[in-house]
C-alpha cells in the first residue's frame, strides 16, 4: 500500500510537469493549428539558462528562493527566444500546409538543441536546486521534495494561466482567435500578436518544465526526450483541450510511475526501462477506442 501511494505521488509529481509541457503544445496548437516540435529545444534552453543563472545569483539570497527567481528569468529568456523564432520562421508560413510548418519546427529544434548542448558540456550540469534528491516524510510516506515542488509550482502556474485566459483581455483575444480567426480579426484582435503570444507562453512553460525536470539529476543531453513524452499526454487529452492536457499529463505521469514500480515484478520479460515507452503504449490503446482523445473535439466534416 505504501509502495502504491508513493508511486502515485511520484507519478503526480512528474505528471504535473508533463501537464505543463502538454499545455505548451496545446496553447500553440489552439492558436496556430500547428504542433510545435521545437518545444524540446525550448525546454532544454530553459533548463540550461536556469543552470547558468542560478549559481550567478545564488549567493545573494537564501536557499530555494534563488532557484525560483532563476527559473522565472530563464522562462523570460526562453520566451524571448520563442518570439524570435516565431517571427522569423513561423509567421511567414501562415496559411501554408500545417505539416510543412511542423517540419520547419523540427528543423528549428535540431538547430537550437545543438547550440544548447554546446553549453551543457559533456556530463550532466547541476541546476542549482538546493534539495537535490532529498526526501521528507509526509503522513508516513517518503516523498522527494522535488516532486512536491513540481506539484506546487505547476498548480500555481496553471492557476495563473486560468486567470489569464478568463480574466484578461489578452486571454480573451487568444480564446477568440482560437475559436475563429477571421471573426476575431474583424473584432480587432491582432491574430499575429496572438501567434507571437502563444509561442512566447509555450516557450516560458517549457522552460519552467525543463528546469523542474532537471532538479534531480541535472541537465543532460537526453533531457529533451522527456518533452516528447508530453505528446502522448496531449493526444490522450485531445489536441485542442487545455483541461485535457492537464489530465493527460497527470495520467501519463502516474502510468509511467506505476509501470516503473510494478513491471519488474509482474512482467519482467518486457525488459528494462519499459516505463519510458509506457506513455506511447497507453496512447495507442486510448486511440484505438477514441480517435480524438478523451477531451478532444471530433473533427466535423462538411460535404
Least Å distance, CB 64 to other proteins, is: 33
- Cα angle 115, 120, 122 (rounded to 5 degrees) comes to 115
For other proteins, give the closer residue by CB, 69 or 83: 83
State which H helix or E strand residue 144 sits in: strand 141-144
From 98-106, 156-164, 202-210, 248-256, span contacting other proteins (CB under 8 A): 98-106
Q: Contacting other proteins (CB under 8 A), which of 64, 193, 271, 298?
A: 271
299 is a site residue for other proteins (CB under 8 A): yes
228 is a site residue for other proteins (CB under 8 A): yes
231 is a site residue for other proteins (CB under 8 A): yes
Least Å distance, CB 166 to other proteins, is: 27
- Cell numbers 505547476 correspond to what residue? 154
**Pairwise CA distance, residues 44 & 47, whole Å:** 5
138 is a site residue for other proteins (CB under 8 A): no
Least Å distance, CB 92 to other proteins, is: 6
115 is a site residue for other proteins (CB under 8 A): yes
68 is a site residue for other proteins (CB under 8 A): no
List helix spans (H) across 39-144: 39-58, 65-85, 98-120
Contact 134, 147 (CB under 8 A): no
Phi, psi of 35 (to 5 degrees): -90, 125
Contact 31, 198 (CB under 8 A): yes
- Cell numbers 509511467 correspond to what residue? 256
Q: Contacting other proteins (CB under 8 A), which of 108, 196, 246, 247?
A: 108
For other proteins, give the closer residue by CB, 51 or 66: 51
List helix spans (H) across 168-294: 169-179, 181-186, 191-213, 224-228, 230-237, 242-266, 274-289
**Pairwise CA distance, residues 51 & 39, whole Å:** 18
CA distances to 86, 147, 166 from 92, rounded to whole Å, are 9, 41, 30
CA distances to 14, 81, 86, 87, 213 from 155, rounded to whole Å, are 13, 25, 27, 30, 15
Residue 23-42 contact track with other proteins, rule CB under 8 A, x = bound:
-----------xx-------
106 is a site residue for other proteins (CB under 8 A): yes
83 is a site residue for other proteins (CB under 8 A): no
104 is a site residue for other proteins (CB under 8 A): yes
Non-local (6+) Cβ contacts of 78 within 8 A are: 42, 45, 46, 49, 203, 204, 206, 207
**Pairwise CA distance, residues 298 & 292, whole Å:** 6
5 is a site residue for other proteins (CB under 8 A): no
Least Å distance, CB 292 to other proteins, is: 7
Q: Contacting other proteins (CB under 8 A), which of 65, 96, 187, 193?
A: 96
Q: Contacting other proteins (CB under 8 A), which of 8, 89, 172, 185?
A: 89
Nearest CA to 36 out of 75, 85, 1 is that of 85
Least Å distance, CB 276 to other proteins, is: 7
- Judged by the rule CB under 8 A, the positions of this chain that interact with other proteins are 34-35, 89, 92-93, 96-100, 102-104, 106-112, 114-115, 117-118, 228, 231-232, 234-235, 239, 270-274, 276-277, 280-281, 283-284, 287-288, 291-292, 299, 301, 303
Amino acid at each position: 500500500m505504501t509502495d502504491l501511494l508513493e508511486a502515485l505521488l511520484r507519478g503526480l509529481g512528474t505528471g504535473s510537469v508533463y501537464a505543463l509541457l502538454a499545455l505548451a503544445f496545446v496553447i500553440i496548437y489552439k492558436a496556430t493549428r500547428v504542433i510545435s516540435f521545437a518545444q524540446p529545444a525550448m525546454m532544454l534552453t530553459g533548463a540550461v539558462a536556469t543552470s547558468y543563472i542560478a549559481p550567478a545569483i545564488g549567493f545573494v539570497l537564501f536557499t530555494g528562493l534563488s532557484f525560483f527567481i532563476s527559473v522565472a528569468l530563464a522562462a523570460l529568456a526562453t520566451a524571448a527566444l520563442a518570439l524570435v523564432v516565431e517571427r522569423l520562421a513561423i509567421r511567414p508560413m501562415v496559411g501554408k500546409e500545417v505539416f510543412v510548418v511542423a517540419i520547419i519546427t523540427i528543423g528549428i529544434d535540431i538547430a537550437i538543441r545543438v547550440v544548447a548542448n554546446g553549453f551543457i558540456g559533456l556530463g550532466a550540469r547541476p541546476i542549482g536546486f538546493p534539495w537535490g534528491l532529498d526526501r521528507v516524510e509526509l503522513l508516513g510516506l517518503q516523498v522527494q521534495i522535488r516532486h512536491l515542488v513540481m506539484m506546487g509550482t505547476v498548480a500555481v502556474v496553471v492557476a495563473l494561466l486560468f486567470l489569464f485566459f478568463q480574466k484578461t483581455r489578452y486571454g480573451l483575444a487568444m480564446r477568440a482567435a482560437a475559436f475563429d480567426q477571421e471573426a476575431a480579426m474583424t473584432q480587432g484582435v491582432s491574430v499575429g500578436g496572438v501567434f507571437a503570444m502563444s509561442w512566447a507562453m509555450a516557450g516560458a512553460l517549457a522552460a519552467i518544465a525543463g528546469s523542474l525536470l532537471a532538479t534531480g539529476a541535472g541537465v543532460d543531453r537526453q533531457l529533451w526526450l522527456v518533452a516528447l513524452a508530453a505528446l502522448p499526454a496531449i493526444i490522450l487529452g485531445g489536441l485542442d483541450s487545455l483541461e485535457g492536457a492537464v489530465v493527460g499529463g497527470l495520467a501519463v505521469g502516474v502510468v509511467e510511475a506505476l509501470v516503473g514500480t510494478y513491471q519488474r515484478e509482474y512482467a519482467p520479460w518486457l525488459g528494462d526501462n519499459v516505463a519510458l515507452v509506457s506513455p506511447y503504449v497507453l496512447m495507442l490503446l486510448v486511440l484505438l477506442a477514441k480517435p480524438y482523445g478523451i477531451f478532444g473535439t471530433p473533427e466535423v466534416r462538411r460535404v
